A and B are shown apart, each in its own frame.
Chain A
Amino acid sequence: MPYADPEPDDPQELVGVEWPGDESVTREMAESFADEFAQLGLPRAEILALYRQPEYSGAHRAWRLLGDDEIARIVDESLAVFGRFTWVVTDSADDEPEPQPLRLYRRGS
């Protein structure tokens, strides 16, 4: 994000074109994030925070375009499926091999 206003004669200046899309694209994007993060096991408040805060721009843009109520509805729909379970990962008992001592190699030795 630049601080200054655009400078058309700067060779580094971004020349952007907007790709057309419609509300269904925004909705698909919002649903996609909700599904993915619900599958990762994030709770409702954390998923909603992803949309509400500006750092995660894709989700935030969808939130601004669709509104808080609609995003909450989409998140709740994903959580109704994936939020009812927890994925449990069990490491095999002998999964952690003994670390080897650090050896240094000298070129040509």
Chain B
Amino acid sequence: MSTVKNWQLGREMAYPYDARYPERQFAFVFNINRCIACQSCTMACKSTWTFNKGQEHMWWANVETKPYGGYPQWWDVRILEKLEEANPGGQVWGGTPADARFGPYGTFEGQTVFEAAARTLSPDSARVLGYLPTDEEWNSPNIYEDNPIGKRGVRNAIDQTGEQLPVHNTWFFYLARICNHCSYPACLAACPRQAIYKRPEDGIVLIDQAECRGYRKCVEACPYKKTMYRGNTRTSEKCIACYPRVEGTDPETGGEPMETRCMAACIGQIRMQGLVQMAEDGTWAEDRYNPLYYLVHVAKVALPLYPQFGTQPNGYYIPPRWVARPYLRQMFGPGVDRAIENYISPSRELLAVLQLFRRSNRIIFRYQIEEGPKIYEGSLHGRKVELYNDTVIAFGKNGRELFRTTVEEPVYVRPNVHANSI
């Protein structure tokens, strides 16, 4: 095993290969507070990439209801349990969240999927702690989740109360997921044929279909369960980050890098995807006015999903503000309290950057804010709130302006017939 630096864990860790970083990295931020589980993202992906025979069970993009839902069922509970068995009582964070780009959430003192494997698995070829989900676990995305359907035998009508089982009395939320195009991919680490590679230009992780022999080591290893086996081709497949769009080679893009299908389809406007610049040590290079860099490293409202697994995932989430904190800390690490605090009392800049979500399908490389006058000051749910008419301008790859947003008070024009009435 080599030793690599994992900035999310604030320490070095063991990984089967030497560190290599792409020039830019595919990354995204999902604002969970807004997701309505409409599954438009899921279907956008399905209808683009996985509608063929043998792919019926495949949902490269999925949305599951937490805490009880999962695709495959119980994926996170099962891997958390395995790590706990490998290192009982030791899966904890130390230190305190800080401002640094390396170790912003403190230091993870437990074991990653790579480290736990080195201690507990034999033979040596077993490089990653994981498990193979059963067919049943793959086959039923969203089973028992809160999808209202009609009463049996009654057509074209939705059940009026919408649920029978299970009713969560207090909280739940929707977790949208795709492959995290990890910096230290567990799928890649586990492949005995080296059929999985990470592209140097954008960090997208792909399975070479000509090399894959369907050993399913990647399926077993990915802690997020985002590689899937296809029976009729006897190969594994995974999210390809809609790379023709990201490259700007899809005819629809007109040569400009464009966000993936699942991002573009998002009804709740929760998603933003981009390409961040990487530094030589594997951290994100400082790029103050890249919106993703701002959300992750400056405002610190967006956090990686289960960073303790150790793959340095590149999907980030603004955590749902109403959910029990111990649960969120387990899922997103110790940065949760700061993230929610910053989100519910947003700074002027954060409010402006949140306006960039889903205003364009092109990838935003930089934003700029032109400050305007204060237009509102008051309180909201007991907290102070100030709004400004700032103009936020988004720029694309070549520095071209994509769009700008401003705030306007609605103007009511009195119809002619009433023009002079009081």
Binding site for B on A (CB under 8 A): 1-3, 6, 11-12, 14, 16, 18-22, 25-26, 28-29, 31-32, 35-36, 39-40, 50, 54-58, 60-61, 65, 74, 77-78, 80-81, 84-92, 94-103
How many Å lie between the Cα of A65 and that of B162 in the bound state? 15
Q: How many A-B residue pairs have CB under 8 A?
A: 166
20 contacts across the A-B interface (CB closer than 8 A)? A12-B136, A14-B68, A19-B171, A19-B324, A26-B322, A29-B322, A54-B162, A55-B148, A56-B36, A61-B167, A65-B169, A81-B385, A85-B376, A85-B387, A85-B408, A87-B406, A88-B406, A89-B359, A97-B253, A100-B254
Q: Check if B67 is an interface residue, CB within 8 A of chain A.
A: yes
The answer to whether B251 touches A1, judged by C-beta atoms less than 8 angstroms apart, is no
The answer to whether B146 touches A1, judged by C-beta atoms less than 8 angstroms apart, is yes
The answer to whether B162 touches A55, judged by C-beta atoms less than 8 angstroms apart, is yes
Neighbouring B residues of A58 by C-beta, 8 Å: 172-174
> Known contacts A14-B68, A81-B380; is A97 also within 8 Å of B164 by CB?
no
Neighbouring B residues of A95 by C-beta, 8 Å: 360, 362, 400-403
Q: In the complex, which residue of chain B has the Cβ closest to the Cβ of A55?
A: B148
Q: How far is the CB of A46 from chain B (nearest CB, A)?
A: 12
How many Å lie between the Cα of A1 and that of B148 in the bound state? 7
Neighbouring A residues of B165 by C-beta, 8 Å: 1-2, 6, 14
How many Å lie between the Cα of A98 and that of B7 in the bound state? 41
Neighbouring B residues of A29 by C-beta, 8 Å: 171, 320, 322
Q: Check if B416 is an interface residue, CB within 8 A of chain A.
A: no
Q: Check if B375 is an interface residue, CB within 8 A of chain A.
A: yes
The answer to whether B360 touches A77, judged by C-beta atoms less than 8 angstroms apart, is no
Q: Check if B152 is an interface residue, CB within 8 A of chain A.
A: yes
How many Å lie between the Cα of A23 and that of B40 in the bound state? 31
Neighbouring B residues of A21 by C-beta, 8 Å: 169-171, 324
Q: Which of A56, A58, A65 has the most CB of B within 10 A?
A: A58
B358-399, CB < 8 A from A = 359-360, 362, 375-376, 378, 380-381, 385, 387
The answer to whether B170 touches A2, judged by C-beta atoms less than 8 angstroms apart, is no
> Known contacts A61-B167, A92-B401; is A32 also within 8 Å of B320 by CB?
yes
Q: How far is the CB of B135 from chain A (nearest CB, A)?
A: 11
How many Å lie between the Cα of A92 and that of B320 in the bound state? 33
Neighbouring B residues of A22 by C-beta, 8 Å: 170
Q: How far is the CB of B103 from chain A (nearest CB, A)?
A: 30
Q: How far is the CB of A86 from chain B (nearest CB, A)?
A: 5
Partner of A89, one of B163, B320, B405: B405
Q: How far is the CB of B374 from chain A (nearest CB, A)?
A: 12
Per CB-CB distance, the 3 closest pairs between chain A and chain B, nearest first, are A54-B162, A97-B254, A21-B170
How many Å lie between the Cα of A35 and that of B158 in the bound state? 27
How many Å lie between the Cα of A21 and that of B373 in the bound state? 41
Q: In the complex, which residue of chain A has the Cβ closest to the Cβ of B407?
A: A85
> Known contacts A16-B68, A25-B324; is A1 also within 8 Å of B403 by CB?
no
How many Å lie between the Cα of A32 and that of B321 in the bound state? 7
The answer to whether A19 touches B362, judged by C-beta atoms less than 8 angstroms apart, is no
Q: How far is the CB of A89 from chain B (nearest CB, A)?
A: 5
How many Å lie between the Cα of A61 and that of B321 in the bound state? 17
The answer to whether A1 touches B159, judged by C-beta atoms less than 8 angstroms apart, is yes
Q: How far is the CB of A73 from chain B (nearest CB, A)?
A: 11
> Known contacts A12-B143, A97-B255; is A86 also within 8 Å of B404 by CB?
no
Q: In the complex, which residue of chain B has the Cβ closest to the Cβ of A91?
A: B403
How many Å lie between the Cα of A101 and that of B354 in the bound state? 35
The answer to whether A1 touches B144, judged by C-beta atoms less than 8 angstroms apart, is yes
How many Å lie between the Cα of A50 and that of B36 in the bound state? 10
12 additional contacts (CB under 8 A) given A28-B321, A57-B146, A57-B172: A1-B163, A16-B68, A21-B324, A32-B322, A54-B158, A54-B161, A55-B162, A58-B172, A85-B408, A89-B403, A91-B360, A97-B256
How many Å lie between the Cα of A23 and that of B360 in the bound state? 38
Neighbouring A residues of B155 by C-beta, 8 Å: none
The answer to whether A89 touches B159, judged by C-beta atoms less than 8 angstroms apart, is no
The answer to whether B407 touches A81, judged by C-beta atoms less than 8 angstroms apart, is no
The answer to whether B380 touches A78, judged by C-beta atoms less than 8 angstroms apart, is yes
Neighbouring B residues of A101 by C-beta, 8 Å: 251
The answer to whether B136 touches A92, judged by C-beta atoms less than 8 angstroms apart, is no
> Known contacts A88-B408, A95-B362; is A81 also within 8 Å of B324 by CB?
no
Q: How far is the CB of A77 from chain B (nearest CB, A)?
A: 6
The answer to whether B34 touches A36, judged by C-beta atoms less than 8 angstroms apart, is yes
The answer to whether A16 touches B163, judged by C-beta atoms less than 8 angstroms apart, is no
